[in-house]
Structure 1
Amino acid sequence: MAEKLSLNQSRIRSAWLFITPMIVVMVLVAGWPLLRTLWFSFTDADLKELGAAKFVGFSNYVGEYGLLADPEWWNAVLNTIRFSVISVTLETVLGLIVALVLNAKFPGRALVRAAVLIPWAIPTIVSAKMWAWMMHDQFGVLNYVLMGLHIINQPLAWTADPALAMNAVIMVDVWKTTPFMALMILAALQMLPTDCYEAARVDGIHPVRVFFKVTLPLIRPALMVAVIFRALDALRVFDLIYVLTSNSKDTMSMSVYSRQQLVDFQQVGFGSAASTVLFLIVALCTAAYITIGRVKFDGDAR
Structure 2
Amino acid sequence: MLLVTAYPIAQAFYESLFKYRLTDPDARAFNGLGNYAVVLTDSVWWQAVGVTVLITAITVAVEAVIGFALALVMHRAITTLRPVLRTAILIPYAIITVVSAFAWLYAFDLQTGFVNSWFSWLPAISEETNWFGGFGTSVTVIIMSEIWKTTPFISLLLLAGLAQVPEDLQEAAKVDGATWWQRMYKVTIPNMKAAIMVALLFRTLDAFRIFDNVFIMTQGSQNTEVVSFLAYRQTIGRLEIGLGSAVSVLLFLCVVLISVAFIKLFRVDLSSARGGN
Larger C-alpha radius of gyration, 1 or 2?
1
Distance between the aligned counterparts of 1:32 and 1:186, measured in 2? 36
Q: Does 1:286 align with 2:273?
A: no
Which whole-Å deviations, capped at 9, do the CAs of 1:41-90 have from their partners, x for residues lacking one? Answer: 1101112354752101121112xxx1111111110010011111111111
Partner of 1:81: 53
For 1:70, which of 21, 27, 42 is the aligned residue?
Answer: 42
Q: CA deviation at 1:149?
A: 6.1
Q: Percent identity?
A: 37
Q: Does 1:38 align with 2:34?
A: no
Alignment of 1:1-302 (within 5 A): 26-50=1-25, 53-62=28-37, 66-106=38-78, 108-147=81-120, 152-298=125-271, 300=273
Gap runs ≥5 in structure 1 = 1-25
Please report the TM-score for the alignment, with normalisation by the length of structure 1.
Answer: 0.85
Q: CA deviation at 1:163?
A: 2.2
Amino acid at match of 1:212: Y
- The answer to whether the 8 A contact 2:64-2:200 is kept is yes
Residue-pair matches, total: 273
Q: CA deviation at 1:246?
A: 0.9
Distance between the aligned counterparts of 1:294 and 1:132, measured in 2? 40
- The answer to whether the 8 A contact 1:76-1:249 is kept is no
Deviates further, 190-199 or 87-96? 190-199
SS state of the match for residue 164, structure 1? helix
RMSD after superposition:
1.8
Q: CA deviation at 1:249?
A: 4.9
Amino acid at match of 1:74: W
Please report the TM-score for the alignment, with normalisation by the length of structure 2.
Answer: 0.92
Q: CA deviation at 1:243?
A: 1.0
Distance between the aligned counterparts of 1:29 and 1:108, measured in 2? 40
- The answer to whether the 8 A contact 1:77-1:253 is kept is yes
